[in-house]
Structure 1
């Protein structure tokens, strides 16, 4: 099986494409009636679904993987542990699962990118759900030490009360991007042209 497309996506850091690429390859293999071989990148495939926040597809993939493969690949089991923590909304557990294995070079890039993306998602969740939060709770949600979490949120414009050890959330102004509708532009142009002539 040629996994060069998967490797290209990894090299170009197109992590959001990994799951789709692997799904397409899996369908191709199934259509050809070829059994899955030991070289199938199950951990990458699973992590690809986790990266795009498709835990349902990750669950179905996990259930379809033969037990013998699951038993022989610790990295695959570690990837699924991340999926389990996401499924149960064990936010701190996700970070523990990420740090729970010395990932291979191939998956390391994807895991690191997911970790960064997940931290951003957690920050946005905290920002939308809280007006104040303890440093300890924020650190747990962000998977950081209390000092690192405090520094992280301070860079985002939050404030800290050192006495109460509480963080005050600063809501970001929502900037809506106006999209130009070509149809409206065409009607406006025709209208102005009509007025001038």
Structure 2
């Protein structure tokens, strides 16, 4: 099996492409009659779906994995714990699952990319849409940070902290709407300019 597209995605840190690449390679292997490959990167494949925020495909992959892989590859099971917490929407437990395993060098960068920027940004957007005020403690738990780091992160995003109450006031970012030009208005403007010039 030629894993060069996967290796290129890993080197270029194009982590959102990983699941699609491996899905395609898995379909190719199946079409050639190969049911199970001992060297298949199940950890990376499962994590690729999680990074792409496609928990349904991650569940399907988990269910279709050979039992021997689920039982004997601890890292695959640890990645699935992350997926389970995402499925249950237990956002704080996702961070615990990430920190609760000693990841291999091959997977560590992927896990850090997911838990760092990607997951934190998703959860922050969720908090932004769901709350008008939230405690620093809850924010820290959702983001998997210390209270100090969570308060600093939120303030950098424009939220306002009340140190006395320990609450953060969510500041919604203004939505930029595209203005659509009405063709009849454009026609009238053209006629007006034409009239002024002549």
Provide TM-score, normalisation by structure 2.
0.88
Identify which range, 1-10 or 133-142, moves more after superposition.
1-10
* 1:81 alignment partner in structure 2: 81
Question: Per the alignment, do residues 176 and 39 of structure 1 end up closer, same or farther by CA in structure 2, a change over 3 Å counting?
Answer: farther
Please list every run of 5 or more consecutive structure 1 residues that lacks an aligned counterpart in the other structure: none
* 2:174 alignment partner in structure 1: 173
Task: Report if aligned partners of 1:10, 1:109 keep a CA contact under 8 Å in 2.
Answer: no
Whole-Å separation in 2 of the counterparts to 1:177 and 1:41: 44
Whole-Å separation in 1 of the counterparts to 2:138 and 2:10: 33
* 1:22 alignment partner in structure 2: 22
* 1:127 alignment partner in structure 2: 128
Alignment of 1:81-160 (within 5 A): 81-115=81-115, 116-160=117-161
Give the drift of 1:14: 0.8
Whole-Å separation in 2 of the counterparts to 1:142 and 1:158: 15
* 1:72 alignment partner in structure 2: 72
Give the drift of 1:175: 2.0
* 2:59 alignment partner in structure 1: 59
Whole-Å separation in 1 of the counterparts to 2:106 and 2:9: 11
Q: Deviations over 1:3-51 (max 9, x none)?
A: 1111110111111110000000000000000132221001111111111
Whole-Å separation in 2 of the counterparts to 1:123 and 1:75: 27
Identify which range, 168-177 or 129-138, moves more after superposition.
168-177
Task: Report if aligned partners of 1:92, 1:141 keep a CA contact under 8 Å in 2.
Answer: yes
Whole-Å separation in 2 of the counterparts to 1:5 and 1:177: 37
Please list every run of 5 or more consecutive structure 2 residues that lacks an aligned counterpart in the other structure: none
Provide TM-score, normalisation by structure 1.
0.89
Query: Whose radius of gyration is greater, 1 or 2?
Result: 2
Q: How many matched pairs?
A: 188
Task: Report if aligned partners of 1:135, 1:150 keep a CA contact under 8 Å in 2.
Answer: yes
Task: Report if aligned partners of 1:5, 1:21 keep a CA contact under 8 Å in 2.
Answer: yes
Q: Deviations over 1:94-131 (max 9, x none)?
A: 11111111212221121111112110011111111111
Question: Per the alignment, do residues 137 and 66 of structure 1 end up closer, same or farther by CA in structure 2, a change over 3 Å counting?
Answer: same
Query: SS in structure 2 opposite 1:87?
Result: helix
